[in-house]
Chains A and B, each alone.
Chain A
C-alpha cells in the first residue's frame, strides 16, 4: 500500500498522530481482549465469589460478606497452610540460589573442553514440567522400589518413608522443586557472572587477591542485582508450587505438604467443592505474594549493588 512521499512539514501533525494511534490500538486489541477477559475481569469475579458461599453444584450462592475471610483467618488449618507455604519458600529459595551460585562459578571456570557437556547435564531440568518432575522423583522416593533409600542403605543409613513421614515429606517436595528450578537459576547466574567486567578481576589479582577473595569481594557484589532478581522470582514460584505436590503427596501426609495453592485446589476441585472459600484463600495468597515481594524490594533492594 504505497502512499505518496510525505513531506516532513506538510502533513499536519495531528492527523499523523491519530492514524498511528488507531493502528496502535488495533495491534494491541487481541492482547488486551485476552488480558481483560482472563486476567483482569477474573480478579473482580474472584473477589465477588470470595464474598459468597457457593454450592458444590447447582449454581446456588449465599452472600456472606467477609465471613469466608474471617473464618479463614481464625482457622488453624489456614495458618497451617500459610506455614507450609512459608517453610517451603524458606527451604527452596536460599538453597536453590546458593547451589546455583556455586554451580555457576564452577561452570564459569575456563575449562578447555567438556564445558558444553556439563552444561547440558545441568541445564536439562529447565525443560521438565512440574508434573514430570514429580513422577520422576516419586519413583526415587518410593519406600519399596525407590532408589534413594536403596542408596542410603548402601552407606548404612535407614532411609525414611519420604512421602509418608510428616517430618520428611516437605523436604522431599523441596528437593524436587529445587532440582527443577536449578537449570533456570544456573543459566541466569552464569550469564551474569560472564557479564562481569574482567578488568575488576585483573585489578584484584594485581593486588594479590586469591580465588575466594575475588569471589567474595567482586563476584558476589557484582551478582547482587541478579541474585536479587532470582530471589524475587524464586519466591513467587515457590509460593505457587503445585504440580509436584499433586503428584508426590497430594498435600499429605495429613496436611504436611498442603500449601495455600494446594488448599485452593482442594477446596475448589476435589471432593465437596467450596468455591467461595477457595476464592478467599486465593486472594489471601495473592496478598501474601505481593506483600513478600514488597518486603524483598524494600529490605534487600538496598543491599543490591548497582554499577
Chain B
C-alpha cells in the first residue's frame, strides 16, 4: 500500500509539473508562437518593414468565412500561392467570428497559434491586450496607410498607428423587395430616413397586404449601428478610444430611443420575433413574408442571386431626435501574430498585403458584397469595377453609406460614435444586449429598464476585465 500511495504521489507530482510547465504544442511550420507564459512579448523591437522571405515557408491563416464567402477566400489564397513559390498559405475555416476568436485564445494556451487570424471588430481591444501582435504600421512602407479608406484604417488603429489590416469591411443596410414597394406605391427610402419615416413605410406596406414590413435578428450589431447613426456613444471615454472603457453609455441619450424603435417594430407587429438568428430572417425575406430585411452588405451577392424578386437596398434609418450621423464599419480584419520568426512574419505580411491589393479587393468585393478598403478603388475605380457598380447598385449602397459618414463633427471634433466602440469584453456585452431584447419582448420590461439592467451587467464585465489589464 505504501508503495502504491507513493507511486500515486509521484504520478500526481508529474501531472502537476506537466500542467505547470506547459509544453509547446504542435508545430506549424515556421509559425509557432511558442510559450504561453504571462510575459508580454515586446513588439517595440520589431524591425520596420521586413525583407521579403527567400526560403520556403508555410504560414497558417485562420478565418471565419463560411460557405460562399469561404470559397472566395480560398480562391484568393490559391491565387497567392500560385503567384510565387516561396510562401504557402494554409487557410483554415474556424467557424463563426466567436468560434474563431475563442480558437485563437485557446491556441495561445496550447501554443498552436496561427500566423494570421481574421478577428472581428469587437475583438480589437482584446487583440491589443494579448500583446502578441505585430502591428501593420511597423511592416508597411511609410505613407501606405493613407492608401486605405479612413474608416477601416482608423477603426483598427491605436495611438501608435494602424495595427490590423481591414479585410472584409461591411456596414449594415436595408434590403427590400422592390415589387412590394411598387405595389404599395412607395418611393425608395431616402438616405436619411428617420424612425418615423420607417414606421410610416411599414404602415403603408402592411396596409397593402404584406404580412410583415421588416425582419431582423435581435442581435447586438444593429443596435450598435443604429445608435451610432443616431449620434449615440456606446462606451465612455470617447467610446473607449481615448482611454480604456469603464462604463457603457447605451442606456442614456439616444440609446433608449433606438432600442424602443427596434423592439417596437416587433411588439407592434411590423416584424416577427425570430430571435437572434441570421438565417431564419433570410428565409422569411425570401419567402416574401417580409418586405424589408436588416442585414450586412456582405449578403448582397446572396440576396441578389437567390431571391425570386428584384432586390434593392437602402441606408439604415436614424432616430427622429438626431441628424443622420453615419455608420461604423463592421466585419473583420487580418491580424498578424508575432511568431518570433522573421521569415514567417515577413511571409505573413506579404500575404496580408496581397489580400488588400486592388485586384484581390475587386474579386472579394464583387464576389461577396464587402466593400473594398483601398481608397483608390473608390476615388478612381477600374473600368470593370465601374461597370459592375452600374449593373449592381446594391453593392454600392454600403460604400455610399460610409462615404457620407462624417468622421468629424461640425465643430471639428472627432465623431467617436462612428469610429465605433472598443472594449475588452465586447462580445460578452453583445450577448447581454441580446438578452435585453428578450427582457423587453418576452418579459414586458421597458426599453429603459432593460438597458439599465444590461448596463449594470456590462459595467460589471468591464470592471472585471479591466482588473487584469491595467
Interface residues in chain A, defined as those with a beta carbon under 8 Å from any beta carbon in chain B: 21, 25, 29, 32-33, 36-37, 41, 53, 55-60, 62, 77, 142-145, 161, 163-167, 252-256, 266, 269-274
Contact = CB atoms under 8 A, between A and B. Distances in A.
Given A36-B12, A41-B15, A166-B442, A255 B435 contact: yes
Given A41-B12, A58-B468, A62-B468, A272 B280 contact: no
Given A25-B4, A164-B273, A272-B425, A57 B105 contact: yes
A32 B8 contact: yes
B11 interface: yes
B128 to A, nearest CB: 12
Given A56-B465, A57-B105, A252 B276 contact: yes
A272 B468 CA distance: 13
B36 A274 contact: no
Contacts of B200: none
Contacts of A273: 102, 105
Contacts of B287: 144
Given A41-B12, A253-B438, A256-B438, A59 B274 contact: no
Residue among A55, A252, A254, A270 having the largest count of chain B Cβ atoms under 10 Å: A254
B130 A270 contact: no
Contacts of A145: 283
A37 B12 CA distance: 7
Nearest to A274: B464
A145 B12 CA distance: 54
A55 B468 CA distance: 6
Contacts of B443: 166, 254
Interface of B: 1, 3-4, 7-8, 11-12, 15, 36-38, 98, 102, 105, 108-109, 126, 129-130, 272-277, 280, 283-284, 287, 424-428, 430-431, 434-435, 437-439, 441-443, 457, 461, 464-465, 467-469
A60 B435 contact: no
B216 to A, nearest CB: 13
Interface residues of A, dominant DSSP: loop
Given A57-B105, A273-B102, 12 more contacts: A21-B1, A37-B15, A55-B469, A56-B465, A59-B36, A59-B38, A144-B283, A161-B274, A256-B438, A269-B102, A270-B431, A272-B427
Nearest to B130: A57
B130 A33 contact: no
Contacts of B109: 57, 59
Given A58-B468, A62-B468, A272 B428 contact: yes
B464 A143 contact: no
A82 to B, nearest CB: 17
Contacts of A77: 457
B126 A59 contact: no
A164 B437 contact: no
B292 to A, nearest CB: 17
A221 B38 CA distance: 62
B290 to A, nearest CB: 11
Nearest to A164: B275
A271 B468 contact: no
Given A143-B280, A164-B274, A252-B275, A53 B467 contact: yes
A252 B443 CA distance: 13
Contacts of B4: 25, 29
B468 A60 contact: yes
20 contacts: A29-B7, A37-B15, A56-B468, A58-B38, A58-B468, A59-B36, A62-B467, A143-B274, A144-B283, A161-B275, A252-B276, A252-B434, A253-B441, A254-B437, A254-B443, A269-B102, A271-B428, A272-B126, A272-B425, A272-B465
Contact of B442 (A21, A37, A143, A253): A253
B37 A59 contact: yes
Contacts of A253: 273, 275-276, 438, 441-442
The list of the 10 closest CB pairs from A to B, nearest first, reads A254-B438, A166-B442, A271-B427, A164-B275, A272-B428, A272-B425, A55-B468, A144-B283, A57-B105, A271-B428
